[in-house]
Amino acid sequence: MPPALVIQKYGGTSLATVERIQQVAHYIRSTIRPPTQAVVVVSAMGSFTDEWVALAADVHPNPPQREMDMLLTAGERMTAALLAMALEKEGLHAISFTGSQIGILTDSTHGNAKIHRILGDRLRKSLEAYQIVVIAGFQGVDPQTKEVTTLGRGGSDLTAVALAATLRADRCEIYKDVEGIYTADPRAISSARRLPHLSWESACILSGSGAQVLHDRAANLACKYEIPIHIHSSLAPSQPGTVIEGHTRPMETPHFVALTDKKDLVYLDLMLTGCGAIQPIYEWLCSRGDIPQLWSLRRIDDQIELQLSLELAHASAYMEFLTIQCKKVECKRKLSIHLFSIVGTGFSQSHTLLETITILLGEALLLLEIQHGVIQIGVKPESGEESRERLHRAFSWSVG
Ligand code: ASP
Ligand code: MG
């Protein structure tokens, strides 16, 4: 039998200082015992990425994306080398690689590249020679142009899950600065509870609607390849965290899993005339990593009614692009909203939900959409904090 293989991923906060890097190395030594092998994926130390994004903006207001990728991939590479050194100091045989060196092949979209495949040969060979292989997260290479690419902000989670799928790892562990996934953000809601278990589908909806704990593309990949993910705190790694595994079973009665939210969104109700293709618009948004939280369209004769919500900061760039793509864009309604997503199952079967939510939120409620596995609720921004409290209180006990 081949030795067991564990993928571990550590976020930037878990590796923010020399001391933290040493703690992580020590923890790896205590958990990965021969013949078990580990591939350890790292993010850039602390707030490196944010700081260098800001620095680049000081040099150029709109820096070339290729150069941004050259710049930002350095953060993960430095952390990987430092962790490999710390592991050697712990007496483990370790080596670090960039995404490009181990054949993480992507498309050519700088700043938000998609993984096409991972060659994995060099990685497998290295695992024969070294017990621990450290990989710089969030990066790959376009095999055609040989250019280095990044997978989008927070993309190291994606590297870890993609490697777990390629190598058919026995375990995939993600270490964060929080103890797992909660029924709401524990920093905002003190009664939020840790979820010991979450289905792949619920994890996809949660991470896609603003929960910071797992990258949404990583959640989607885990669901597609059915990879169990163990989320733990790097500060208290032996505490039980959250396991993401299994599919959501359809249930007769509504079942609440968790509440998540996004602030500073704008809701646009648009009428487009002469717009041949919505597809280029959606492709353009995706290439920017700018997926609308709500997105619905309706054709009325030769016009298209498009309703969507997206980050307030990107609203003008989006309107500009739409105006170029379509002959005429009429903005019928533009609202600043705070958007909540309640994730669970069986919501569309409840007769009382609509009434419960409208009474609960009163005048603050701006929009409401109930689907089987998710309820999306837009409220006035000034009512965001209070609505979060009310929704969590109502939903964590009963969903009527
Ligand atoms: N360092 C990158 C970022 O901050 C990638 C990551 O942390 O996963 O976006
Ligand atoms: Mg980071």
Q: Which atom of ligand 1 is nearest to 151's Cα?
A: 5
> Strand, helix or coil at 328?
strand
Among 49, 53, 163, 176, the mutation site with the greatest number of ligand 1 atoms within 8 A of its Cβ is 49
359 pLDDT more than 90: no
Q: Which atom of ligand 1 is nearest to 138's Cα?
A: 5
CA 13 – ligand 1 centroid, Å: 10
Average pLDDT over the chain reads 90
Q: Which atom of ligand 1 is nearest to 12's Cα?
A: 7
Confidence of residue 147 (pLDDT cuts 50, 70, 90): very high
400 pLDDT more than 50: no
Q: Is the minimum distance from the CB of 15 to ligand 1 under 6 angstroms?
A: no
252 pLDDT more than 80: no
Q: Which atom of ligand 1 is nearest to 11's Cα?
A: 7
Q: What is the pLDDT of residues 185-244, one digit of tens each?
A: 888 999 999 999 999 989 998 888 878 779 999 999 999 999 999 999 999 998 999 999
127 pLDDT more than 70: yes
**Mean pLDDT of the 285-298 span:** 78
Find where tokens 């190291």 sit.
Answer: 156
Element (H, E) at 168: none
Q: Which ligand is nearest to the CA of 137?
A: 1
d(CA 165, CA 169): 7
High-pLDDT (> 70) share of the chain, %: 96
Domain boundaries, the chain: 5-177
Q: Is the minimum distance from the CB of 209 to ligand 1 under 6 angstroms?
A: no
- Taking CA atoms, 235 is separated from 40, 48, 89, 161, 378, in Å, by 17, 20, 21, 22, 35
CA 354 – ligand 2 centroid, Å: 39
Q: Is the minimum distance from the CB of 156 to ligand 1 under 6 angstroms?
A: yes
**Mean pLDDT of the 49-58 span:** 97
CA 152 – ligand 1 centroid, Å: 8
Confidence of residue 81 (pLDDT cuts 50, 70, 90): very high
Could you give the residue ranges of the DSSP H alpha helices within the chain? Answer: 18-31, 48-59, 65-89, 121-129, 156-167, 200-208, 216-225, 279-287, 315-325, 353-361, 384-397
Bigger pLDDT: 340 vs 256: 340
313 pLDDT more than 90: no
CA 7 – ligand 2 centroid, Å: 18
5-177 has CATH 3.20.20.450 classification: no
35 pLDDT more than 50: yes
Q: Is the minimum distance from the CB of 99 to ligand 1 under 6 angstroms?
A: no
Q: Quick one: which of 121, 145, 115, 143 has its CA closest to 225?
A: 115
**Mean pLDDT of the 293-300 span:** 81
Contact 341, 373 (CB under 8 A): no
pLDDT attached to residue 276: 65
**Mean pLDDT of the 139-157 span:** 97
